[in-house]
């Protein structure tokens, strides 16, 4: 019976395990195919270096936000697929390990059951007669050896299958990571190319600016030449002026030439210094490249060393497995020899063997995990090395291109300057020759004109004689006009009294009319008229004495809070004192808040360096009254008083619903147009001393108070 059952059970187990391995292989193959199709659909093949993963609609010139860029979402999708694959492989490996452990336990039980049956049959046959054929010990040992060989074959097949599956998954993950690193490197190369294009554009703009500057200089030179031509026309009028202007123009041209030569020399020196600096930078970059290459070499050597150490670990692992197999065979032989004498010792040794096998399995798992970690670290190090090498190569090529462009631009500028200098020298020589010829011609022309002028002078003398006779006639007429003026002045003296009286009456009417208009205006009982125009002193009023007393008091350190509504004191205290960000103000705020309901309440106020004036919200959004529109201006005048004393005044408009959400960098609601129209509020808002709140200060208002209230 045991001989017939064992091979069938082994074949059944083999078939079941093959079906399980095929079922586990199918989802991994399907997933790998899906990933390959996704990668083919998303990006072109990475065979060429210049091929980059770009969306069809994207261009290099348009700037797209990162959340709309397809490259980022493609990379995120690839990373997510890889993470899903990793999770799936981890779960599948765990399930496979559990299945293997279960199959091993079942095989152990199957081996133990035939052993017990063989032992019982052998014992029964020993008690039979001597004539019957008794099974020998060799038959039992042969059966055990056959079962052990079948089990070894099954275990070897399972190990080979799992190793091949793990290797295929590792190779796939390696290929995916390599493709990902290639795509990332190509993306970085594209970004670097875009950066170089931008730098080239900036360099072109700078060149255009330099060319425009040179054009303006040339235009200025031509303008100076035109001014010289205009000077030539002036030489024709007077010889002395021509000579003076000519010497001045020559000096101006020489100074311009000197300054131009200096500027050209300075520009050439600057260009030479820039080239020297670029050469130094290139040397430093070469040194850095050499250092990086040495570092890369050392990293690669370390990587190869780690690979060799991993190989040694693998060989040791294989040796340990072989030793375990040998030891297990030895233990089996020991069990066979001891089976006749002690069943208890057999059970104990089997238990110890099981524990050792479990320990070795745990060690195998830890070694596999360490191998996976080391492989991942090696992959990342190699990817970083290749990335750094590519970036360094790109930097080197960019620097070489920039140096070549700078040298070309420098040679162009030098040629342009030389050509401009040559043309300027030629034009100056030509203009000087023309000036000399014109001077000679003007001398001849002036000599001819002198004779004509002498003749004209004679004619002028004759005309002067004629004019002298006319002047005598005009003198006689003027004497007649003097007589008429004397008569007019006499009439004015006679009527001067009447004229003065009329003017005096008009002035009196204007004074009385203005006084009546001022008196007719409706003013409150205790209104302060404010400072007089052109002076900082308040006009005479019943409140001027209170203001003078406040001025005599010294400004104390700290903060005083002014409010006009007695029912809102708790609200103001909560806003200013219960905010955790403004707790540092507790020491500076005075013990009593100052309630102002009339101007006489200022007598009891002790002025402090900082004054907070809290105002309630109203329907018309009137923060401070306008003197010419509203009746009564207590709040406006009190703010003026504290400003005139020298206090740092903060006006806070409270319970404004529009101040719940303030715009950035704004201390008050921009819909409050009265702040800009009111003269006092506009001056305070320019100093950033006007704020509007709903029920608490905003974060930017708190920071503003921390900076200014210290």
Q: Of 111, 88, 90, nearest to 13 (Cα)?
A: 111
Pick 650 or 15 by higher pLDDT.
650
Mean pLDDT of 269-280: 72
* 111 token code pair: 């081996």
399 neighbors 199 (Cβ within 8 angstroms)? no
Query: Residues 652, 655, 660, CA angle at the centre, nearest 5°?
Result: 95
Q: Residue 336 burial by CB count (10 A; 0-12/13-18/19+): exposed, middle or buried?
A: middle
pLDDT-based confidence at 655, cuts 50/70/90? very high
DSSP string, 111-127: HHHHHHHHHHHHHHHHT
pLDDT of residue 27: 44
Mean pLDDT of 21-47: 45
Can you name the residues that pair with 611 across neighbouring β-strands? 560, 649
pLDDT-based confidence at 459, cuts 50/70/90? confident
Mean pLDDT of 264-293: 72
pLDDT-based confidence at 648, cuts 50/70/90? very high
- Kind plus residue range of the DSSP H or E element containing 331: helix 239-338
Query: Residues 660, 699, 640, CA angle at the centre, nearest 5°?
Result: 80
pLDDT-based confidence at 371, cuts 50/70/90? confident
Mean pLDDT of 313-341: 67
Task: Kindly state the percentage of the chain with pLDDT values over 90.
Answer: 10
pLDDT-based confidence at 328, cuts 50/70/90? low
Give the Cα separation of 622 and 629 in Å (integer).
Answer: 11
154 neighbors 10 (Cβ within 8 angstroms)? yes
Give the Cα separation of 260 and 257 in Å (integer).
Answer: 5
Q: Which range has the worst mean pLDDT, 1-10, 153-162, 219-228?
A: 1-10
108 phi, psi to nearest 5 deg: -60, -45
The CB-side HSE value for 387 (13 A sphere, CA atoms) comes to 16
Reduce the DSSP state of residue 652 to 3 states and report it.
strand
pLDDT of residue 491: 72
Give the Cα separation of 341 and 325 in Å (integer).
Answer: 25
First to last CA, the chain: 102
pLDDT of residue 496: 72
Mean pLDDT of 648-672: 91
Pick 285 or 175 by higher pLDDT.
175
Give the Cα separation of 568 and 575 in Å (integer).
Answer: 11
pLDDT-based confidence at 709, cuts 50/70/90? confident
pLDDT of residue 83: 84
pLDDT of residue 156: 80
Q: Is the dihedral of CA 237, 238, 239, 245 positive or negative?
A: negative
DSSP string, 381-435: HHHHHHHHHHHHHHHHHHHHHHHHHHHHHHHHHHHHHHHHHHHHHHHHHHHHHHH
pLDDT of residue 332: 60
pLDDT of residue 49 exceeding 70: no
DSSP string, 598-639: SGGGGGG---EEEEEEEE---TT--SS--TTTSS--HHHHHH
pLDDT-based confidence at 635, cuts 50/70/90? very high
pLDDT of residue 638 exceeding 60: yes
pLDDT-based confidence at 611, cuts 50/70/90? very high
Give the Cα separation of 325 and 311 in Å (integer).
Answer: 21
> Length of the chain in residues, anyone?
710
Residue appearing with tokens 């010497």 = 247
pLDDT of residue 679: 92
Pick 603 or 414 by higher pLDDT.
603
C-alpha torsion angle, residues 577, 581, 584, 585 (rounded to 10): -40
DSSP string, 558-600: EEEEEES-GGGHHHHHHHHHS-GGGGGGTTTB-SS-EE-SSGG
pLDDT of residue 457: 66
Q: Which range has the worst mean pLDDT, 104-113, 358-367, 489-498, 629-638?
A: 104-113
Q: Which range has the worst mean pLDDT, 135-149, 276-290, 563-577, 578-592?
A: 578-592
pLDDT of residue 103: 67
Give the Cα separation of 392 and 666 in Å (integer).
Answer: 47
pLDDT of residue 126 exceeding 50: no
pLDDT-based confidence at 690, cuts 50/70/90? very high
pLDDT-based confidence at 23, cuts 50/70/90? very low
pLDDT of residue 55: 42
What does the mean pLDDT of the chain come to?
Answer: 72
Question: Distance of CA 130 to CAs 86, 121, 174, 250, Å?
Answer: 67, 16, 70, 149
pLDDT of residue 596 exceeding 90: yes
Give the Cα separation of 6 and 342 in Å (integer).
Answer: 26
pLDDT of residue 331: 60
168 neighbors 160 (Cβ within 8 angstroms)? no
Reduce the DSSP state of residue 691 to 3 states and report it.
strand
When computed from its CA atoms, the radius of gyration of the chain, rounded to whole angstroms, is 54
Q: Residue 406 burial by CB count (10 A; 0-12/13-18/19+): exposed, middle or buried?
A: middle
Q: Of 333, 10, 3, nearest to 141 (Cα)?
A: 333
Mean pLDDT of 552-574: 89
List all residues 6 or more positions away from 665 whose beta carbon is below 8 Å from its beta carbon.
700
* 21 token code pair: 């391995």
374 neighbors 310 (Cβ within 8 angstroms)? yes
Give the Cα separation of 85 and 639 in Å (integer).
Answer: 73
Give the Cα separation of 608 and 595 in Å (integer).
Answer: 15
Q: Is the dihedral of CA 161, 167, 173, 179 positive or negative?
A: negative
pLDDT of residue 20 exceeding 60: no
pLDDT of residue 644: 92
651 phi, psi to nearest 5 deg: -100, 125
What's the longest Cα–Cα distance across the chain? 194
pLDDT-based confidence at 291, cuts 50/70/90? confident
Pick 626 or 101 by higher pLDDT.
626
617 neighbors 672 (Cβ within 8 angstroms)? no
DSSP string, 457-477: HHHHHHHHHHHHHHHHHHHHH
Task: Kindly state the percentage of the chain with pLDDT values over 70.
Answer: 62
pLDDT of residue 652: 95
Pick 428 or 21 by higher pLDDT.
428
Pick 64 or 96 by higher pLDDT.
96
Can you name the residues that pair with 401 across neighbouring β-strands? none
**Long-range contacts for 367-375 (Cβ within 8 Å, ≥24 apart)?**
367/313, 367/317, 371/310, 371/313, 374/306, 374/310, 375/170
pLDDT of residue 512: 76
pLDDT-based confidence at 131, cuts 50/70/90? very low
pLDDT of residue 48 exceeding 70: no
Q: Which range has the worst mean pLDDT, 120-129, 413-422, 608-617, 624-633?
A: 120-129
pLDDT of residue 68: 74
Mean pLDDT of 462-473: 69
pLDDT-based confidence at 5, cuts 50/70/90? very low
pLDDT of residue 522: 40
**Highest mean pLDDT: which of 35-49, 473-487, 673-687?**
673-687
């Amino acid at each position: 019976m045991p001989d017939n059952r064992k091979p069938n059970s082994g074949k059944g187990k083999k078939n079941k395990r093959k079906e399980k391995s095929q079922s586990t292989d199918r989802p991994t193959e399907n997933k790998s195919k899906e990933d390959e199709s996704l990668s083919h659909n998303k990006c072109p093949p990475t065979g060429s270096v210049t091929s980059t993963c770009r969306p069809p609609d994207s261009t290099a010139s348009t700037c797209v936000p990162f959340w709309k860029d397809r490259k980022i979402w493609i990379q995120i999708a690839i990373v997510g697929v890889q993470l899903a694959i990793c999770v799936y492989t981890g779960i599948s490996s765990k399930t496979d390990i559990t299945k293997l452990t279960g199959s091993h336990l079942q095989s152990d039980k199957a081996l133990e059951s035939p052993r017990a049956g063989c032992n019982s049959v052998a014992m029964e046959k020993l008690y039979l007669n001597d004539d019957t054929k008794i099974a020998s010990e060799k038959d039992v040992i042969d059966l055990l050896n056959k079962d052990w060989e079948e089990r070894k074959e099954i275990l070897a097949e399972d190990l080979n299958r799992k190793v091949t599956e793990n290797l295929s998954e590792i190779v796939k993950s390696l290929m995916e990571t390599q493709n990902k690193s290639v795509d990332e490197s190509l993306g970085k190369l594209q970004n670097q190319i875009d950066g170089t294009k931008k730098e080239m554009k900036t360099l072109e703009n700078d060149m255009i600016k330099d060319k425009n500057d040179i054009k303006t200089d040339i235009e200025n030179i031509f303008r100076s030449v035109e001014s010289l031509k205009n000077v030539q026309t002036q030489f024709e009028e007077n010889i002395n002026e021509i000579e003076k202007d000519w010497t001045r123009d020559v000096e101006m041209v020489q100074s311009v030439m000197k300054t131009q030569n200096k500027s050209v020399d300075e520009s050439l020196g600057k260009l030479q210094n820039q080239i020297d600096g670029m050469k130094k930078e290139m040397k430093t970059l070469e040194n850095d490249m050499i250092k990086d290459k040495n570092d890369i070499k050392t990293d690669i050597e370390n990587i190869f060393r780690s690979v060799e150490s991993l190989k040694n670990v693998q060989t040791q692992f294989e040796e340990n497995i072989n030793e375990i197999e040998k030891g297990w065979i030895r233990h089996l032989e020991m069990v066979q020899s001891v089976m006749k004498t002690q069943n208890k010792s057999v059970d104990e040794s089997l238990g110890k063997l099981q524990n050792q096998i479990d320990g070795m399995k745990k060690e195998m798992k830890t070694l596999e995990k360490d191998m996976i970690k080391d492989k991942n670290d090696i992959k990342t190090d190699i990817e970083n090395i290749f990335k750094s090498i590519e970036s360094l190569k790109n930097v080197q090529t960019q620097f070489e291109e920039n140096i070549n462009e700078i040298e070309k631009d420098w040679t162009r500028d030098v040629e342009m300057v030389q050509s401009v200098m040559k043309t300027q020298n030629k034009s100056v020589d030509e203009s000087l020759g023309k000036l000399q010829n014109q001077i000679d011609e003007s001398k001849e022309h002036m000599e001819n004109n002198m004779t004509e002028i002498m003749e004209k002078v004679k004619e002028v003398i004759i005309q002067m004689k004629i004019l002298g006779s006319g002047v005598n006639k005009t003198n006689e007429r003027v004497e007649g006009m003097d007589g008429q003026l004397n008569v007019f002045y006499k009439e004015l003296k006679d009527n001067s009294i009447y004229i003065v009286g009329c003017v005096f009456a008009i002035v009196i009417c204007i004074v009385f009319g203005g006084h009546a208009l001022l008196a007719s205006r409706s003013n409150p009982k205790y209104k302060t008229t404010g400072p007089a125009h052109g002076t900082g002193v308040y006009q005479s009023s019943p409140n001027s004495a209170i203001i003078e007393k406040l001025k005599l008091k010294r400004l104390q350190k700290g903060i005083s809070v002014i409010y006009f509504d007695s029912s809102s004191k708790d609200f103001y205290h909560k806003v200013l004192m219960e905010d955790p960000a403004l707790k540092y103000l507790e020491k500076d705020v005075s013990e009593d808040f100052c309630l102002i309901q009339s101007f006489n309440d200022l007598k009891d106020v002790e002025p402090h360096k900082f004054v907070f004036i809290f105002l309630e919200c109203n329907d018309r959004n009137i923060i401070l009254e306008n003197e010419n529109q509203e009746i009564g201006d207590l709040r406006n005048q009190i703010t003026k008083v504290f400003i005139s004393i020298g206090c740092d005044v903060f006006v806070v408009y409270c319970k404004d619903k529009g101040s719940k959400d303030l715009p950035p960098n704004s201390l008050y609601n921009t819909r409050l147009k009265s702040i800009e129209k009111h003269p006092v509020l506009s001056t305070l808002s320019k100093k950033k001393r006007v704020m509007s709140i709903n029920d608490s200060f905003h974060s930017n208002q708190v920071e503003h108070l921390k900076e200014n209230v210290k």
